[in-house]
Chains A and B, each alone.
Chain A
Amino acid sequence: MERHPRTEREPMTHPAPLGAVPVSPTAPPLATQAAISREIAALRAAADADGAAGGPDPGQPARDYPPYRSSTPRHPRQPPVAIDALADPEAVELSGPVFGVTDVTALDADLTRQHTGEPLGERITVTGRVLDRTGRPVRGQLVEIWQANASGRYAHQRDQHPAPLDPHFTGVGRCLTDDDGRYAFTTVKPGAYPWRNHDNAWRPAHIHFSFFGSAFTQRLVTQMYFPGDPLFPYDPILASVTDPAARARLVAVYDHGLSRPEHSLGYRWDVVLDGPSATWTEEGR
């Protein structure tokens, strides 16, 4: 897999507002963690009050979540326009792209075997099922992951966090789900890493996941977290999901039965894709 050389000229901007603006001397000072935590608490309380008043389901993050600073200039102000799948059963989005054996290779699902040597870090397997909201398995669909290495560094040219790159780890994986909707990856546990959302901001360890369902409406890009991470309360991206039950659905479960003796620790993470599909409308839901 292609590797990006580290550019020496690049300012050390760290993960956050990358691609965008290098930090300028006139930029306002970063908020403190205490200030961000107060914003998180206030928005959580507001969501609880909304929920108690029968407001919208907070099962998804708000599009505008000010503690995650990058959301401020990028979220739409207008509410999304609803498309009712039952009223428009021929909508193109009720079907979706398909992938097959030509699109993956057997080695893609094992991120520890993509180089000549073994990566450093705690070897883990992550597996689970992909279902739609009716509980039907999503079969033969593409699952993609990317992650930082065990030191918390991405093999991405713009990641200038001064943690070591690992010549034996890229951190990219793909697989197709099986007939039960199951995916499985072998990798190493990613490290936490700093970013510039606010002062002393650290992301909890996470693996980025991308899922395709049986319909384009079910597309999902999200992040999987590890149980018991002490950084959870400080992270505005995880906190953007204000409902604790929904937040818990982003956290994998340690499953000792999945651990392999003298090889790897096992985590289970099941995923439910939102959104209607053509089969759904055929059956009148």
Chain B
Amino acid sequence: MPTRPEGPAAAPAVPLDPTPSQTIGPFYGYALPFPGGERIAPTGHPDTVTLHGLVRDGDGAPVPDALLEFWQAGPDGSLTGAPGSLRRDPATGAVIGRNGVDFTGFGRVPTDADGRYALRTLPATAPAGRPDAAPYLALCVFARGLLHHLFTRVYFPEHTAAHAADPLLSRLPQARARTLLARPDGPVPYRYRFDIQLQQPADGRYEETVFLDFR
């Protein structure tokens, strides 16, 4: 990552050098995933949406050892989140998961042996500070073979007007922007499909997902 440019109003000190990333490797599976990681929506919430899809590599093959992390604004647009995603039983130490009431905004889902994942959450909302923004889920992808994680976003098809003004979508060519749009899968607005293409195959049959770099 390039060194951040220092403008005239920049912080006084030279930024500290970041610790480099290294791959998550193949063996995080007994450490990072936790029960209920894929259920961000409070239990039985009537607005719950399912987002599901497939992670593929540059050969078009499913990626069975990817870990996806989601982060989103609260239903009220707050960005403070809440603790308790991996709530523990103090007696046994076991992960008993969310309390089913609080919305933590955080989800963690490993792909299964077919390279598929499914997330259950509340509809994406715009941050309270910019209520007319196009809502999205922030997504971070980890996998063996990725030396550095990949950030992307999941936008939803029903917000067409907001998409036209979105600072990211509006500067991408249409085919690229489309990779960031979940598509309806069954009755809108309850079920969506969002596939992640880590690399475009040589025959071009899948468009590579747009990945992001924050500066």
Q: Which residues does A use to contact B, with CB under 8 Å? A: 1-2, 4, 15-20, 56-57, 59-63, 65, 68, 70-78, 80-85, 87-88, 90-105, 107-108, 114, 131-135, 144-146, 154-156, 158-159, 170-172, 208, 210, 216-217, 219-223, 237-238, 240-241, 245-247, 249-250, 271-276, 278, 283-285
Contacts and interface: CB of A to CB of B under 8 A. Distances in A.
A243 B209 CA distance: 29
Interface stretch (B43-51, B65-73, B156-164, B187-195): B65-73
Given A57-B2, A76-B208, A95 B79 contact: yes
Given A16-B26, A71-B146, A76 B211 contact: yes
13 contacts: A60-B21, A61-B148, A74-B144, A75-B198, A77-B200, A92-B127, A98-B82, A103-B86, A135-B13, A154-B30, A208-B28, A221-B142, A250-B19
A87 to B, nearest CB: 7
Contacts of B205: none
Contact of A59 (B1, B58, B130): B1
The 4 lowest CB-CB distance pairs between A and B, nearest first, are A100-B83, A70-B145, A146-B31, A97-B106
A146 B215 contact: no
A220 B21 contact: yes
A74 B146 contact: yes
A250 B26 CA distance: 19
Given A71-B147, A93-B71, A77 B20 contact: no
A18 B63 CA distance: 11
Main SS of chain B's interface residues?
loop
A189 B208 CA distance: 40
Nearest to B83: A100
B19 A273 contact: yes
A249 B17 contact: yes
Contact of B214 (A107, A210, A217): A217
- What does DSSP make chain A's interface, helix, strand, loop or mixed? loop
Most buried by A among B21, B79, B214: B214
B199 A73 contact: yes
B104 interface: yes
B174 interface: no
B81 A96 contact: yes
Interface string B202-215: 00000011111111
Nearest to A278: B79
Given A60-B1, A98-B81, A74 B145 contact: yes
Contacts of A250: 19-20, 22
B79 to A, nearest CB: 4
Interface string B111-144: 0010000000000000101100100101010111
B186 interface: no
B20 A249 contact: yes
A285 B11 contact: yes
Contact of A63 (B7, B30, B148): B148
Given A97-B81, A155-B30, 8 more contacts: A18-B26, A68-B147, A77-B199, A90-B127, A92-B79, A92-B136, A93-B151, A249-B17
A102 B22 contact: no
A75 B32 contact: no
Contacts of A15: 25-27
